[in-house]
Structure 1
């Protein structure tokens, strides 16, 4: 219920075209669409699907999911996800590891004191470096666009590939992995035909 409450708050505050990450975002998106947040109007906001909101899986956990899931829910395959890895909590947990030796044998009271101090310092440092982080991300994005776009255009020109081909191949890849475990009907008929020919040969 807590993730659903978070989604409801996002829909009410940020509204349209949101992209949120969750460790099981692939499954949770179905839960959201099946809930009251999906098809109906909630707290004077449009529904999840009508606002063109989406859920994905963070980069850290995404590679642990099967490839069918990755083709649809990994940030690398989602247009507009940019450079975001959706791993803020993992960064926090990693930083918290430095605090573990300090409070390992401390009392419950000192656990709370040091955790409060840690997050107060964390918030202060992140807020202080927010401008630098945004600038670095912006410069990195500009560099990627200026270099990779040129390389992509040259490759597309040399291979005679259009933008529509790339989008079509992506759709075909998703469809292929979605049905990879299903035997095509024509293949079933072919196998049966060959088996009947073998039986006929043995009978003769």
Structure 2
């Protein structure tokens, strides 16, 4: 087998705990909370719990401030979709909370492996690094870890003090199935459980199932002390283990069914698709990867052609403005000479405008000449040329794609916000807040639709 063990790790911010010093009004002069470690008398001790001291050993200054963007300038394609990939969203937490949630790791069967408290911070990389270090100590090589931001954690782990050890032990960072479709398609091909060989039907979403049970503890632990809060969480997660017998039995039956009928089912599906060799599926993924990489940026020649066309359009407009100004003059007669001489500001204003138009024309002409040199164009394009029309189509199609992506993004966001508004447990004030946000969002959608219609009309769609 490719993996010795599979596990999932994630954070849950429902189990926030208000700092006791805040309840007593004990803040420092700056209004910030100076947290102190709990004494051993009030610390919950268990082998599954990782202490704050152990976790903080992975919070070196460079790692805590690690950016999702590579130092070489090659940005992560998923960064804009995940707040937990941005330092500004994870380094701080509201001062009222001492513990901002829990970070856990569970095996593929749902058994809890490790638990730790997130202390006055968001989902920083130190928690996942602590989990990885501990599990490498416990289980050794060939581990696969599912994480909703597994693509970012892969680069974080590689550049951390654990990187060399993780590579030598063949550790693989993965993206779990439920969260994976919010990642960039190229990222999915490399990291999503659906496409990684050796995972089968495993989705690595055990943390979400565990949190669906532990979320009920939030009201009773929000104002609890450290020791009373940790015990219910540990008890809840371990109680869930007693209910795993049916889950394991169903998985065992499913595995037996796949072993007995899987090959026949695969052959039937391959016959329907007209595929004779299973290696074709891997070839399709490789071809898709190559195609998507080719779409990461527009071809340089097409970019230059579109830029050249846009400068030609600008040059055409500036030339027309210049011809209009040069063809306009004022005839001086004995009747208006006195008024012209007395109104010197109007003359200076006209001369300044003429200079500006001439400068714009020269700027456009220079840009056109430079691009003609880059593209090797010997005869300047005119609207009747096929090259002009092809470049105009490229520009129109680019605007159309941008407008379409913007509309799609806004509509999907609106749908998610609507689902939050009708979610059980949402209070009246929050519903009003979401309602006002939806009104603003609706106006943005109308503007985006107008831009889309304009772009589609220009493209003839």
TM-score scaled by length of structure 1: 0.73
Q: Report how far residue 135 of structure 1 moved.
A: 2.0
| SS of equivalent to 1:55 | strand
Name whichever of 151-160 and 181-190 sits farther off: 181-190
Unmatched 5+ stretches in structure 1: 40-46
Cα pair 2:214 2:237 within 8 Å, conserved: no
- Distance in 2 (CA, whole Å) between partners of 1:198 and 1:162 is 53
Deviation string for 1:17-41 (max 9, x for gaps)?
Answer: 11101221101101112223223xx
More helix by proportion, 1 or 2?
1
Closer, same or farther: CA 121–25 of 1 in aligned 2, 3 Å? closer
Aligned twin of 1:171: 286
- 1:37-76 to structure 2, matched below 5 A, reads 37-39=162-164, 47-76=165-194
Q: Which residue of 2 aligns with 1:199?
A: 381
Q: Cα RMSD (Å) of the superposition?
A: 3.4
Aligned mates of 2:244, 2:301 — CA distance in 1:
58
**What's the counterpart of residue 44 of structure 1?**
none
Tell me whether 1:142 sits opposite 2:324 in the alignment. Answer: no
Question: Which of 10, 25, 35 does residue 160 from structure 2 map onto?
Answer: 35
Q: Is the 8 A contact 2:144 2:173 kept in 1?
A: yes
Using a 3 Å threshold, how does the CA distance of structure 1 residues 67 and 196 change in structure 2: closer, same or farther? farther
**Distance of 2:231 and 2:161 partners within structure 1:** 36
Q: Distance in 2 between matches of 1:153 and 1:138?
A: 23
1:59-96 deviations in Å (ceiling 9; x for gaps): 22212112121111111111222333222222222223
1:82 aligns with 2:200: yes
> Offset of 1:115 from its aligned partner?
6.3
SS at match of 1:6: helix
Does residue 1:108 correspond to 2:290, yes or no? no
Counterpart-to-counterpart distance in 1, 2:214 and 2:277 = 47
* Higher Rg of the two aligned structures: 2
Report whether the alignment pairs 1:14 with 2:128.
no
Counterpart check, 1:123 vs 2:238: yes
Q: C-alpha deviations, 1:158-201, integer Å up to 9, x for none?
A: 514312211111122122223312334687799998x7788398
Using the size of structure 2 for normalisation, the TM-score is 0.36
1:23 to 141, 148, 172: 148
Count of matched residue positions in the alignment of Structure 1 and Structure 2: 191
Structure 2, gaps ≥5 residues long: 1-57, 59-125, 309-374, 386-461
Q: CA deviation at 1:100?
A: 4.4
Q: Which residue of 2 aligns with 1:155?
A: 269
- Partner of 2:108 in structure 1? none
Runs of at least 4 residues off by over 6 Å: 185-193, 195-198
Partner secondary structure for residue 210 of structure 2: helix
Corresponding residue SS for 1:134: helix
2:160 and 2:177 map into 1 onto residues whose CA distance is 26
Once the two structures are overlaid, the 10-residue window that deviates more, 16-25 or 131-140, is: 131-140
Alpha-carbon deviation of 1:143? Answer: 2.4
| CA 181–9 in structure 1, closer or farther in 2 if over 3 Å, else same | same
Q: What is the alpha-carbon distance in structure 1 between the residues aligned to residue 268 and residue 301 of structure 2?
A: 40
Counterpart Cα distance in 1 of 2:237 and 2:303: 61
SS in 1 for 2:203: coil
Determine if the alignment matches structure 1 residue 92 to structure 2 residue 210.
yes
SS of aligned partner of 2:130: helix
Give the 3 Å change call, closer, same or farther, for CA 115–33 of structure 1 in structure 2: closer
